[in-house]
Amino acid sequence: MPNDPLNAFVPYGRTEVAGASSGPLAGLRFAVKDLFHIAGLPTGAGNPDWLRTHEVPRETAPAVQRLLDAGARVAGKTLTDELAWSLAGENAHYGTPENPKAPGRIPGGSSSGSAAAVAGGAVDFAIGTDTGGSIRLPASYCGLYGIRPTHGVVPLDGSVPLAPSFDTVGWFAWEAALLRRVGAVLLPPSPTPEPDLAFRRLLVAEDAFAIAGEAVRSALASAVERLRGRFGSADAVTLAPEGLDQWRPVFQTLQAAEAWAAHGAWITATKPTFGPGVRDRFAAAATLDPALARAAAESREGIRRRMDDLLGTDGLIVLPSAPGIAPLRGSSGAAVDAERGRALAILCPAGLAGLPQLSIPAARLQGCPLGLSLIGPRGSDSALLAIAEDLFA
């Protein structure tokens, strides 16, 4: 097996797959999170029991095939948290990928191996998934550009689900121009010829910045001012009048209900060995009261309307990608749980509303990367990619 100093690739998926001989991504190498099927390679979803109990796929996921058809070459499959249900990137079975931009700290999950592979220069770009923040958080922790697109615009067929009404295909790149080139292959054609002109109003999410705190706000101030200069002004807004801490459990309840619907039968039959955290979340999901899920679904509709009303057709929300820098590897206990909660409170608005969000490597804090995020109206993915390249390349 080729050398993997980053521990980014799964041992059974370090096989290269050639793409088309020409195309817009010809000459580029990319990594694939081990949730996506590639014909002839196992899909392990971060868990040895999943790997053991599922056949080797015979077909390649459409998102992967689009990239191959565009001339890019698969460099291998990358590590993920178990069934993608974590934000840390620490896998109890396969270890933790290195964070090359913040040594000694976690890369973030669940697209941990994909982020590490790009940050460490093993590949040009990588695809992953984002359900609750699994592109945006690793992008912030590892100093990368990363996008969670509008829900449903990139097909998730041929991949292992977690919570289908939140799951999205996302991707990382080391520069904004390359992130946009990949988007041109994966996304539907843009309806406007100049997508960078789609935004007219800049909205600063004060409640998200408040959760992150003054150190994060200060570190990101220069990048926010650059955006303010582009728009001429900015309006301070509160995303959640009732508090983002009230939106987070709406997301967590729905995610748990969907995760158990997707995997409960397999878990009951197989009794897989899960690492801490993932084990606890599935155990709680197994006993979730359906009435709570129904109430959360109703709350989600109100959240979706709130976000749509704020954005209209031309708004751009700016907020931190994370509540802080990457935590140290091997941390445990109440502090880790609190950081996860703060992260989910910042990350959940886009997921609950099905909106696109792009993370930009905008600053450093204590010598570590820190991301700034942009949320646009649904379908504004190409516009987000364009403004990121225009202002932050």
Can you give the CATH number for the domain in which 253 is found?
3.90.1300.10
**pLDDT for residue 262 is more than 60:** yes
Q: Are residues 168 and 204 in the same domain?
A: no
- Could you report the per-residue pLDDT of 7-36, keeping only the tens digit for each? 999 999 889 999 999 999 999 999 999 999
Q: What pLDDT does residue 325 have?
A: 97
pTM of the predicted model, to two decimals?
0.96
In a domain, 393, yes or no: no
- Could you report the per-residue pLDDT of 296-339, keeping only the tens digit for each? 999 999 999 999 999 999 999 999 999 999 999 988 777 778 89
Burial class (CB in 10 A: 0-12, 13-18, 19+), 14: middle
Q: Are residues 174 and 225 in the same domain?
A: no
Q: Are residues 142 and 248 in the same domain?
A: no
Reduce the secondary structure of the chain to three states and give it as a string: CCCCCCCCECCCCCCCECCCCCCCCCCCEEEEECCECECCECCCCCCHHHHHHCCCCCCCCHHHHHHHHCCCEEEEEECCCHHHCCCCCCECCCECCCCCCCCCECCCCCCHHHHHHHHCCCCCEEEEEECCCCCHHHHHHHCCEEEECCCCCCCCCCECCCCCCCCEEEEEECCHHHHHHHHHHHCCCCCCCCHHHCCCEEEEEHHHHHHHCHHHHHHHHHHHHHHHHHHCCCEEECCCCCCHHHHHHHHHHHHHHHHHHHHHHHHHHHCCCCCCCHHHHHHHHHCCCHHHHHHHHHHHHHHHHHHHHHHCCCEEEEEECCCCCCCECCCCCHHHHHHHHHHHHHHHHHHHHCCCEEEEEEEEECCEEEEEEEECCCCCHHHHHHHHHHHHC
pLDDT band at 192 (very low <50, low <70, confident <90, very high): low
Q: Are residues 173 and 223 in the same domain?
A: no
Q: Are residues 213 and 179 in the same domain?
A: no
Angle at 159 between CA 263 and CA 195, to 5 degrees: 125
Q: Are residues 282 and 174 in the same domain?
A: no
**Residue after which a domain boundary falls, among 132, 161, 186:** 186
Q: What pLDDT does residue 128 have?
A: 98
Q: What pLDDT does residue 193 have?
A: 45
pLDDT band at 191 (very low <50, low <70, confident <90, very high): low
Q: What pLDDT does residue 392 have?
A: 87
Q: What pLDDT does residue 1 have?
A: 41
Which domain range does residue 153 map to? 29-186
**Residue after which a domain boundary falls, among 162, 186, 210:** 186
Q: Are residues 34 and 178 in the same domain?
A: yes
pLDDT band at 2 (very low <50, low <70, confident <90, very high): low
In a domain, 225, yes or no: yes
In a domain, 122, yes or no: yes
Section 182-193 average pLDDT = 83
Q: What pLDDT does residue 277 have?
A: 92
Q: What pLDDT does residue 336 have?
A: 79
Q: Are residues 231 and 91 in the same domain?
A: no
Q: What pLDDT does residue 198 have?
A: 81
Domain count, the chain: 2
Q: What pLDDT does residue 123 have?
A: 98
pLDDT averaged over every residue in the chain: 96
Judged by average pLDDT, the poorest of 4-8, 276-280, 328-332 is 328-332
Looking at the chain, the whole-number percentage of residues with pLDDT higher than 90 is 93
Residue 344: CB atoms within 10 A of its CB come to 23
Catalytic (active-site) positions: 33, 110, 134
- Could you report the per-residue pLDDT of 359-371, keeping only the tens digit for each? 999 999 999 999 9
